[in-house]
Amino acid sequence: MSLQHYLHYRRYYEVALWVLYATVNLMANTQVAWTEVQRIGQGTEWWEVLTWEASSTATILLLLPLLLVFDARFSLERDSWRRHVVAHLVATLPFSLAHVGAMYLIRQAVYLVVGETYQWQNWWQQFGYEFLKDFRTYFGLLAIIYLYRFTLRRLQGEAEFLSEGREEAEPVAVTDRFLVKKLGREFLVRVEDIDWIEASGNYVNLHVGLRAYPLRETMTAIEQRLAGRGFARVHRSAMVNLDRVREIVPFDTGDGEARLISDVRVAVSRRYRKRLREQLG
């Protein structure tokens, strides 16, 4: 599997990876909990242990998209983490409340189905224990997310994080090229070579053939830089080089997709579809 293939279908792969991670975590936690129950002779049935762990794992998966949205608003990248770390510390409380509340409701429902009653005594005291676990889970998930992003950027060719005290140069548009200076190295990307541009958090990915060059730039700013250069916004998170568009495929929903000559498919929202057709003539 090529990097370009992965990047094109990355959202599907990312969902699959999270599901795989949750499944492995569920199996491991269930086995550990069941072993502990048998060791102390608690008299708990196996389905109860599975319900406890599955309800927790399922709730975390449901909360993950909200965590990603919150992190997009309060990024912990190197240039903004000092401003946003407090917001994340505060967010651990509603994260934990949502996790514990959903777990309780799921367990109540399962116990009701099997004709039992789920008891949670001294819940206020136990919530302190649950909050500590959720605090660890919250920042553990963030660590996985940022490690994944860092690894993906390295694979795409971006330089490593800078050490404290060293400045990272912003991408500068120079005539028909983008000049990016990082760690004393210069990356030149010709505007005419760019197939399409994709927003990715605080970055935009310049897709050139099988390569993708991440730049610390917003989609709005990059659109302004490329005004009149043969590029069109097709989605809130994507632009295409008009010379690379082979066809536009409409969907019944009003949205569509732009199919490039490289066989890459870029989503086109209904907001930009009419304008794209006009620009293509």
Of the candidates 203, 87, 60, the one whose C-alpha atom is nearest the C-alpha of residue 144 is: 60
> Parallel, antiparallel, or unpaired: how do β-strands 265-268 and 231-235 relate?
unpaired
> Are 173 and 121 a contacting pair, CB within 8 Å?
no
Compute the average pLDDT of residues 19-28. Answer: 95
Cα 65 to chain centroid distance, Å, stands at 8
Report the distance separating Cα 75 and Cα 39, nearest Å. Answer: 44
Report the distance separating Cα 93 and Cα 99, nearest Å. Answer: 10
The answer, yes or no, to whether residue 63 has pLDDT greater than 70, is yes
- Greater confidence (96 vs 192) lies with 96
Q: In this structure, what DSSP letter does residue 235 have?
A: E
Question: pTM, whole model, 2 decimals?
Answer: 0.61
Helices (H), 81-229: 81-113, 123-156, 219-225
The answer, yes or no, to whether residue 177 has pLDDT greater than 50, is yes
Torsion of CA 226, 228, 229, 232, to 10 degrees: 70
The structural domains of the chain, ordered by start, are 3-156 (no CATH), 172-280 (2.40.50.1020)
Tokens found for residue 232: 């069109």
> Are 175 and 189 a contacting pair, CB within 8 Å?
no
For residue 6, name the pLDDT band (cuts at 50, 70, 90). confident
**Which of 122-131, 165-174, 225-234 has the lowest average pLDDT?**
165-174
